[in-house]
Amino acid sequence: MVGSEALPSPRQHGVTKPLSLAGPSEADLLRTKKLNKFLVDSGLYESQEEAAKREKVLGQIKQIVVEWVKELTRLRGYSDQMVEDANAVVFTFGSYRLGVHGPGADIDTLCVGPSYVNRDEDFFFGLHEMLTKKEEVTELQPVPSAHVPVMKFKFEGISIDLLYASISRSVVPDDLDISDVSVLYNVDEPTVRSLNGCRVADQILKHVPNVEHFRTTLRCLKFWAKRRGVYSNVTGFLGGVNWAILVARVCQFYPNAVPSMLVSRFFRVYTQWRWPNPVMLCAIQEDELGCTVWDPRKNPKDKTHHMPIITPAYPCMNSSYNVSISTLRVMTEQFQFGNRICEEIELNKAQWPVLFEPYMFFESYKNYLQVDIVAADPDDLRAWKGWVESRLRQLTLMIERDTQGKLQCHPYPHDYIDPSKQCSHNAFFMGLQRKQGELVQENQQFDIRGTVDEFRHSVNMYMFWKPGMEIYVSHVRRKQIPLYVFPDGYKRPRLPRAASHQPVCGLGSAEKTSVKRKGEGVERDSPQKRESISPSPISSPFMSPLSHSLVNGLEPVGSFKNEEVGVIGCSSGSSIVTNEDAGLEKTSFGSNCQELSEEDSQSAVDKLSRSNAKLRMLLSELEQSDYEVRLGINSMRKD
């Protein structure tokens, strides 16, 4: 039935009544058709060949874990009958179980074994050793210290995240019902978390009114979140299960809506959502087995959660505990962006591709933290990167804590590689800005030396540290962002502000480049003239600490105030960020209020260029003589 009139709904889904029972109009159906075509054209669906290969790989993994359990049973002296009955079962969860995985996506898997096969020794050592001998297995990386302990590897090129759960049974049947609460009897919390991945996925599918509409909408919004830089649980944003629950709740609010309507309603709902009110698909079940459930009335820690998204399977937990004040701010801004674009799409003023335009992170802030990590070889870097990435969220929380939330961080959930480096290398970035509307006293600074030192100690706790694993943190301005982070290898030309840069010890040097406005006939910044400022290969374990000089930015033309909001690094020196530098930046869908936009007329540009030429020279001289300050940030090595 087509039309905006209400359609019958067989039963209520969710803890409240629907917001609307309206069905789609002809325009909604047309927009859904266009959305589906866009998703297909974007390559979000895997081929039948790849789907068959995944099924084959899962079957091979099942054979390996059964062989592993039988061998352990034999070695521990159990009877021949016990060895014959010994078994392990492999379940999938995450996007694969929900039916929204795409080409090249990893498969989240869970191995359920008997009570006498444990995780710490048998899984992370015994099975690990067995996998190392399989030629199909590459990039094997155990992560036993993760919140949900996992073993990562590739099997015939397909990425696998394998969890393990030992349940209170001596024999695990092939037809084990993992949704039965009895599987949670007498197991530890990591095992509960491991089992709940599958249980939650099943419950999500049970709590949506239309599974196919849910899948299309979720596939769409996961793609959007990745394009807009807000898809990453480990970084403090949202992961797959978080997005699934948010989408499922919108499906409950609008049970008769089609995907184009659900995408639009998604942004409308979460732009107006009053966090920290929780998002729940069903009522929280009572305590049945003594497991801790999310309840801010009883658990003080639950009161600190900023964006509670509650899992629908017992024991109900907050799946988004990683979200911080800063990352919630970023996601809220992106929801507002999505809502604005969807309104334009419904008015036929925009098309679907506009919604998925990538977020211009490196044009959105003036100041960044750059975290570079290196290791002796790719295998070591893979392990080191996993550990450091899991700790970056802590750096965001530490900075929020130590600056009372006045200095906001935007961790970007992407890593970059400098191809010019001899060593194995990765780099992460965080945008920095002063909290909007925050009153700042003259000469006020943010001292983060102790913060970074604390971060260094947490990173150095890595139990698998090896020589050559190093981490460096530097404070860089937008103009100093290395070229390798940009897709085309060079930056989009931007109008410069008068500034000078000192060489970065251990990071190369940033050359002064000349970028003139249109019509002035001076060369623009180019890849040949712009030197990378990523870390140089480590030649000695006793190299001097990293340092980075940051010139104090001046106020706009006509103002020479020196109101500083400083960001001070570790050890010696300081990094100074002015009120203007650390203030609110406009994102890629707005122009920077401190600089001329690309839409300014040519005549206005030429006029400003002529009238301000002398003033720019004066500002440059003042900066070079009076406003240079150094920032020193220690190399964080294993002590």
Greatest alpha-carbon pair distance for the chain in Å reads 93
* Catalytic-labelled residue, pool 28, 96, 122, 222: 222
Could you write out the DSSP letters of every residue in 266-310? Answer: HHHHHHH--TTSPB-SSPPPP-SSS-----TTT-GGGGG-SS-BB
Task: Report in angstroms the alpha-carbon separations of 12 from 20, 118, 285, 345.
Answer: 12, 42, 18, 30
Q: How far apart are CA 248 and CA 225, in angstroms?
A: 16
Active site residue 95: yes
Q: What residues are paired with 411 via a beta bridge?
A: 430
Exactly one of 96, 164, 231, 416 is catalytic; name it.
Answer: 231
Judge whether 110 and 190 are in contact, CB under 8 Å: no
Using CA atoms, how far apart are residues 142 and 160, in angstroms rounded to an integer?
12
232 is catalytic: no
Verify whether residue 20 is a known catalytic residue: no
The yes-or-no answer on residue 202 being catalytic is: no
Query: Would you call 106 a catalytic residue per the annotation?
Result: yes
Kindly report the CA angle at 362 between 356 and 364, in degrees rounded to 5? 80
Q: Distance between CA 247 and CA 249 in Å, rounded?
A: 5
Q: What is the DSSP string of 324-343?
A: -HHHHHHHHHHHHHHHHHHH
Residue 415 annotated in active site:
no
Which is catalytic among the residues 28, 70, 96, 108?
A: 108
d(CA 412, CA 405): 18
Which residue carries 């990039």 as its tokens?
139
- Are 247 and 131 contacting, i.e. CB atoms less than 8 angstroms apart? no
Please classify residue 13 by burial: count the beta carbons closer than 10 Å to its beta carbon, then call 0-12 exposed, 13-18 middle and 19+ buried.
buried
| DSSP single-letter state for residue 430 | E
Residue identified by tokens 């929900």 is 98
Show Cβ contacts of residue 53 under 8 Å, excluding neighbours closer than 6 positions: 156, 158
- Which is the catalytic residue, given 70, 122, 152, 161? 161
Q: Which of 95, 326, 474, 574 is catalytic?
A: 95
3-state DSSP assignment of residue 224: helix
Contact status, residue 435 vs residue 460, Cβ threshold 8 Å: no
Annotated catalytic residue: which of 20, 62, 85, 106? Answer: 106
Catalytic residue set: 95, 106, 108, 161, 222, 231
